[in-house]
A and B are shown apart, each in its own frame.
Chain A
Amino acid sequence: MATGCKMPQPDIAGLRARGRWPPPEGPRAAIVGSRRPSPYGEAVAEQLSADLAAAGVVVVSGLALGIDAAAHRGALNGGGTTIAVMGTGVDIVYPAAHSALAEQIVAGGGALVSQFPDGTLPRRHNFPARNLTMAALSDVVVVVEAAEGSGALITAAAALELGKDVMAVPGSVFSSLSVGTHGLIRDGAALVQNARDVLAALDVSREVLDDPLRPPRRVGFELGRSRDGIVRHLSDTLALSAAEIARKLQLPIAEVVGRLTSLELEGAVRRHGAGYVRSLRREERRA
């Protein structure tokens, strides 16, 4: 993981920014991971990020597809500040599908920052350098789902080089997306089960995070309080197709497709590949 070769020190002072920069005082955690996560990874990143943001942590990520986007979304939902470190000029959002997300980040008091001049288009070789900057900007790097050779591992390596903490969220041993994170844990990265693990590493003391008399809330889901009971038959982590749900509930497919769409509209479920998964706490998000 630590490659041994000297990494160039990123130039933090020379960053170009859109939005509030420098960001508000406070600890910063980078949450990074696969661009094609499982529903599980996406859910973990979103929940973790929301909890950290709610606790006053600035969430740093890379505005990429997958875990990065989930981290930014989570931070916004948690009512916190988030910073997107871009591999393009700050005036060019890549992927373009994240333009709306980028605007929300700026509107939410966060910033889009880049070490590259305005107008820099996405170039493959720019992204590892961006990963270094992400590590340099953060006090701790949390990796959620990374396959072998993932860019998130570059960020983790850079963080080590810079003397920052590296933490990782474990995944299923059947998933290739766990290879990178489990490798990190094997090499000594701290295991993350919930936001408290990260807050502890950041030395954030919060008086009452959990009710000490009750078991700590797991990193997982709070069921959306949807009016439609069909949501209970969906999984947090495994995408189910409309056909499977219709069969399970003995309902006509037309009705199930309609009700799932309605739930999507509410934000209680979302698409993942050919199926649907439950999303977490989306209705609070819109408030």
Chain B
Amino acid sequence: MLATVDSCLLAGMEGRLVEVQADAANGETKFFLVGLAAASVKEARERVRSAIRNSGLQFPGRRLTVNLAPPEMRKEGSMLDLAIAVAILLAHVGKPAPPRSAFLGELALDGKLRHVDGVLVAARWLRSRGYERVFVPSADAEEAALVEGLEVIPGADLASVVRHVLGGTPILPQTTTAPSRHSVAGPEHDLGEIHGQEEARRALEIAAAGGHHVLMSGPPGAGKTMLARCLPGILPPLELEEALEVAQVRSLLGELPRDGPVDWVRPFRAPHHGVSMAGLIGGGSGLALPGEISRAHHGVLFLDELAEFQSSVLQALRQPLESGRVTITRSGGSVAYPSRFTLVAATNPCPCGWAGDTRRACRCSLAAVETYQRRLSGPLLDRIDLKVSVRRVPTGLLANEPLGEASAPVRERVIAARRRQLDRQGCLNAVLKPARLRRQAELDPASRRALERWAEQQGLSARGFHRAWRVARTAADLDDSDQIREQHVLEALGYRLQDAAA
């Protein structure tokens, strides 16, 4: 007798359908598992056999063949355990599997269903493929139930799933709880706690409003990290779709909390500068797992001490910065992960950190400063629209610097400016390509003159020209202005750093 049960495996943010076909024939008692199963899947044979026996069910004493189709796809992981067990039992009793249903989950030897990573990703993908029901371990049910229009059957163990499938005691589907927004926590860091730093605050506001990347340069202790941590608090909360994408990445990594899997606060990731390529971009053996840039998807990636990062690691950021996604190829194949984040980078201006400071002398040799700054130059910096100096205020004088505006009103302005952009062009200004910039961000004659004069006088590259243009568009949006005016262009040109060593 033959039974076919559907399940799926994950390749990045995509699912791959796996048909588990089981054939129970008369003959010598044997159990074959075919279909390019990797070691971790081959082991399912032993788990499934023990789980069936220990669930009080009978393991068919027949010639069993389980085929995992398509055979050319390499299968890895324990997500298929439940489907294999159910297929065997259905084949034995000669019953068909429930239609448009898929089974996900790992089996313990006692028949309990264990958590698997990436259930949310799998469930969303199955729904998009027209599946209506998914059986998942109870531990992952809430996660799967985030997917609208999908019936989620939470299974505590194999026996209860089998009873449900064979028409015995039904399991109540997990109620789809629309993710509530009441859990929006206040930001951990508030701009209202920062003394002075008006330039950097303004740069962050523009960055938040237009989705621009920011570089802050300043001596140690100037407050660069503190400023960066304020950015999530002035960004609008995640939209449902965005929150689900963030949750999917966490789901793949098994980092989704059981209670309230959806977080509305934008992610903030601050990898240490020793981070490896695989850690930042994504990697691992077989199929690559998401790295820090994908964990920061729809949020903020903060790279402190930018010059200390390996240059190869920084260069690898170019593609994701450009396209908002990263494609990683490993032995197991290519996977793509989303990585649309706002980059906030911080650096010292020189190895000792005091170059350009008026209050304290820099102790580095000129050559050392040049080498240091050269490490920062190049294609990565080209993609950062806003660059500001952050000054260190001596602790004793800090109280003299006024406290700035709190995050909440800034966030209101950011949200309004973002709405303007989305209404006008359907995307944020930071991702406007030059052609669209010309169409959607017209310069008035005075602002065009200012920009062109600057380009001629200061030798602005084409890229630099468009950078300033985009930032000017955002400054205008924050100003609630349809037209880019001279003032906006001039301000945009102001967010750059002085050349090396001068």
Contact = CB atoms under 8 A, between A and B. Distances in A.
A275 interface: yes
B454 A271 contact: no
B34 interface: no
Contacts of A271: 498, 502
A238 B197 CA distance: 18
A219 B48 CA distance: 91
B493 interface: yes
Interface stretch (B25-33, B36-44, B354-362): B354-362
A243 B494 contact: no
Contacts of B199: 241-243, 253, 257
Contacts of A239: 356, 358
Contact of B198 (A242, A261, A262): A242
Contacts of A258: 487-488, 490-491, 494
Nearest to B402: A247
B156 interface: no
A259 B349 CA distance: 25
Q: Which of B198, B475, B493, B498 has the most CB of A within 10 A?
A: B198
Contacts of B357: 273-274
B171 interface: no
B490 A253 contact: no
Contact of B202 (A247, A257, A265): A257
Interface string B186-211: 00000000001111011000000000
Nearest to B472: A258
B89 to A, nearest CB: 69
Contact of A262 (B390, B401, B402, B490): B490
A61 B397 CA distance: 41
Contacts of A129: none
Contact of A273 (B202, B358, B487, B493): B358
Contacts of A36: 355, 362, 366, 501-502
Contacts of B217: 274
A257 B197 contact: no
Interface string B453-466: 11001010000000
Contacts of B362: 36
A272 interface: yes
Contact of A246 (B198, B361, B366, B475): B198
A222 B494 CA distance: 25
Contact of A243 (B196, B487, B495): B196
A176 B151 CA distance: 75
Given A176-B361, A241-B199, A273 B389 contact: yes
Contact of B197 (A35, A243, A275): A243
Contacts of A247: 196, 198, 401-402
A216 B376 CA distance: 47
A283 interface: no
B501 A265 contact: no
B356 A261 contact: no
B166 interface: no
17 contacts: A36-B502, A239-B358, A246-B198, A254-B475, A255-B487, A257-B202, A257-B491, A258-B491, A258-B494, A262-B450, A271-B498, A271-B502, A272-B502, A273-B349, A273-B357, A274-B218, A274-B391
Given A36-B362, A273-B355, 18 more contacts: A36-B366, A65-B366, A238-B358, A239-B356, A239-B358, A241-B389, A246-B198, A247-B196, A257-B199, A257-B491, A261-B454, A261-B491, A265-B457, A271-B502, A273-B356, A273-B357, A274-B357, A274-B389
